[in-house]
Amino acid sequence: MNTKPLSDSDLDRLEQLLEDDVFQGDAMRLDEIQAMLCAVVSGPVPVMPAVWLPEALGKGIDSVSDGVVSETIELLMRLNNDLAAALRDDETIAPVLYPLDETCEEYDYAAWADTYVFGAGLAGDWFELAGKHSDDLSELLEPMFLLNGMLKEDVEKAGERWFPPAEEARLVADIQENLPVIVQTLYNFWRNKRSGGTVVNEESKAGRNDPCPCGSGRKYKQCCGRPDKLN
């Protein structure tokens, strides 16, 4: 297999292949695959290609003798290796993002975050595997949960106050801008765990559901502990 890093033309070719009829519309988009693999290579335990490739390609993975499928798999393996190397070397990963509509004024960060969370689940329960540092992991993942809408849904189901629209928009924009840093921070969290290093934990910090110590009257997770202050 070619082990050279993917070029822009390779990525264009991969994007084209993913839309081939052999995959019957089941293949993930390139942005989704990148997000999933960022989580896969970051996690606490290895996730084999036999696990993530079927998720990426759907039914088309069964046509292994097809030239399109084999070429796609080779490019995906190289993408996986590129992402692992970049995160290992603390290089900035630029998220592949698709526009929400033809105006290209807004991009689908929600899909990227949602597929990252999905990819995390392929390694098992990250929170269980984080052990005593599960609260720290929860904080690091909150930006993803905000981008994909899960955090807002949980807050509203609990009958709690959500951010006013203008504040939510500012918060989302901040997370979008810092997404590469958030991804690297999550990788570093697990790298420290795997190497037996120290995961930073501020013992005096308020709990996520405790009143914020700043005196605002809001819960810590919705005030000084909100996602834009986790980096």
Q: What digits encode the pLDDT tens for the residues 53-87?
A: 999 999 778 766 678 999 999 999 999 999 999 99
pTM of the model: 0.83
Closest CA to 145 of 185, 182, 117: 117
Q: Could you tell me the CA-to-CA distances from 70 to 10, 20, 67 in Å, in that order? A: 14, 13, 5
Q: Please say whether the beta carbons of 107 and 101 come within 8 A.
A: no
Give the separation between CA 97 and CA 192, rounded to whole angstroms: 29
Q: Which residues, including other chains, have CB under 8 Å from residue 130's CB and lie 6 or more apart?
A: 44, 136, 137, 193
> Which of residues 224 and 129 earns the better pLDDT score?
129
Which SS3 state, helix, strand or coil, does residue 228 take?
helix
Tokens 């006013």 belong to which residue?
Answer: 164
The answer, yes or no, to whether residue 225 has pLDDT greater than 80, is no
Express each pLDDT in 30-44 by its tens digit: 999 999 999 999 999
Q: Please say whether the beta carbons of 144 and 183 come within 8 A.
A: no
Instruction: Write down the pLDDT at residue 147.
Output: 95
